[in-house]
Structures are given as C-alpha cells and as structure tokens.
Amino acid sequence: MPRTRVPFINKDVLALLLTLFLSVLLLFTRTSPQIRLLKLQLSQLANTIAYPVTWYNQVFIIREKNKLLKEQLIQFTLMNSELESYLQENIRLKEMLNFIKSQPLHFKTANVVNHNFGLPTNSITIDIGEKDGVVENLTIMDENGLLGKTIQVGDQAALVQLITDKNFRVSVRIGKDRALGLFIPTHGKYGLLEGVRKSMPLTEGEIAYTSGISEIYPPNIPVARVVSIKRDENNPFQHIVVELVGSLENLDYVFVIL
C-alpha cells in the first residue's frame, strides 16, 4: 500500500519546526523585561490578526442572543396580555362591588394669624373661613403631616384645634400589618399610641398614618413616628411613645383639606 506524502514536509522542515519550537519554548520560559514585553507585543499582534475571527464569532453570539431575546419578548407579550385581561377583570369586579376609587386630596392654603398655646385648648387661628368653603371638622396639615382640625369657623377666619391639645384624639394605622391604634398627645411634640396589640411587630422609626375610619380625617396622612416601644407582660397592649411628624414650631401657614 503506497504511503501518501505531504509536499514540503520533509526532514529539513521538521528539523526547523522542532528547533524553532524548542527555541521559542526556552525563550518564553524566561522572565526578563525584554521577554515580557515581547510576549505582550506578540499577544497584541495575535489579537489584531485574530480580530476578524473574533468579530465573526461575536456576530453569531449576537444572533443567538437576539433569538433568545425575541423568545423572551414573545413570552412577555403573552404575559402582558394576560395581565391586561386581569386588569379588565379587576375593573369589572370593582364595578360589580361598587368599589369607590380613592380621590386625590383638595386643599387650600391658609396663613396662621394667631397662636393660642397658653389656653386650655391648644389652637391657632387661620385667615380663611366660610367664604372660602371652610367648615367645622376639616383636617389641617403641613407638608410633613397632620396638625389638627377646624373647630370653629367664621366668615373670614377659623379656629384650629392642634394635635398637641389634651383633648385631641385620632385613629391611626401602623406597621406592616396596619395595626389600628389611637394617638393621644402627652407633652410637647410627643404622644402615645394606645390600643396596639403586643403581637403586632413594630420597630422604632415607623410612621403612624391616619386610619380613615374617622369621618374627619382622610386616610394615610402621616401623624407620628415611633420613638420607643415597651412590652409589659401584664398589659395586652404595647406602650408606644411617638413623636409628631408635623412641625408646630414657627407655624406660618397650613393646608386645609376640603
């Protein structure tokens, strides 16, 4: 059986390849600065030469990725249409249940014209009244949170009972479980949250919001921030000290929620 011969591959070429291979091997085992730089230059050269191949491979990778993304897009489109149908169903069910949509708050800005901190009722007077649509038991707040409610209304002015007043109470919700509680002012900007059960997990810094149960206050207005929590074995409720979020210092103007 005749042996096939590869042209140009003879013992001379083999000897050359072998010696060159050994030389390069020896050369690249060195760690001198020249050899390190030479390696770098050669790798850069190889990188430049191999660039078209790399580019060609990247085109394939991009095509594959594109295919994958298209598949994902179809999946998301299907999911989106499913969600869309759920939304429609949700709207229909709400209509069936006569569910009332939450309305955005409408408010009027009023200037504070008088402070009555020394009287039995902690109150302020504002410069808008019946003529501006203000009636009794409207919520008063600043940009941070609840400040009080209107208790007497005149033509062009109204008296506001502040949240720090001893007789002021507001129902609140707090925590992840939206536990119900009652805010009672104690001294200055501090107060207590009463009626929060011991089992309700609460942490310091959490904010209590109006519950919306009351006819006076709309829900979700920030009232107070938890300062400390105590749990007494003999008491089924937590002892929660809170601090008002609304600022009563240098009170200049307030918002009346209509």
Contacting positions for other proteins (CB under 8 A): 11-12, 15-16, 19-20, 22-30, 32-38, 41
State both tokens at 33.
Answer: 């600065």
Give the amino acid at 62. Answer: I
Q: How far is the CB of 6 from other proteins (least distance, A)?
A: 17
Please tell me the distance from the alpha carbon of residue 114 to that of residue 117, in angstroms, as a whole number: 10
What contacts 188, CB < 8 A, 6 or more positions away? 164
Q: How far is the CB of 40 from other proteins (least distance, A)?
A: 9
Q: How far is the CB of 44 from other proteins (least distance, A)?
A: 13
Q: How far is the CB of 4 from other proteins (least distance, A)?
A: 22
Nearer to other proteins, 10 or 58 (CB): 10
Torsion of CA 76, 82, 88, 89, to 10 degrees: -150
Which stretches does DSSP call E strand in the chain? 107-116, 123-126, 139-141, 146-153, 158-162, 170-174, 179-185, 190-194, 207-210, 222-231, 238-244, 253-257
Q: How far is the CB of 51 from other proteins (least distance, A)?
A: 23
Nearer to other proteins, 47 or 72 (CB): 47
Q: How far is the CB of 19 from other proteins (least distance, A)?
A: 4
CA 160 centroid distance within chain? 34
Nearer to other proteins, 33 or 104 (CB): 33
Nearer to other proteins, 25 or 96 (CB): 25
Nearer to other proteins, 36 or 65 (CB): 36
**Residue 170 DSSP label:** E
Backbone phi, psi, residue 64, to 5°? -65, -45
Nearer to other proteins, 10 or 156 (CB): 10
What contacts 246, CB < 8 A, 6 or more positions away? 141, 142, 144, 145, 146, 147, 163, 222, 223
Phi/psi class of residue 7: alpha, beta or left (left: φ > 0; alpha: ψ in -120 to 50)? Answer: beta
Q: How far is the CB of 25 from other proteins (least distance, A)?
A: 7
Nearer to other proteins, 11 or 106 (CB): 11
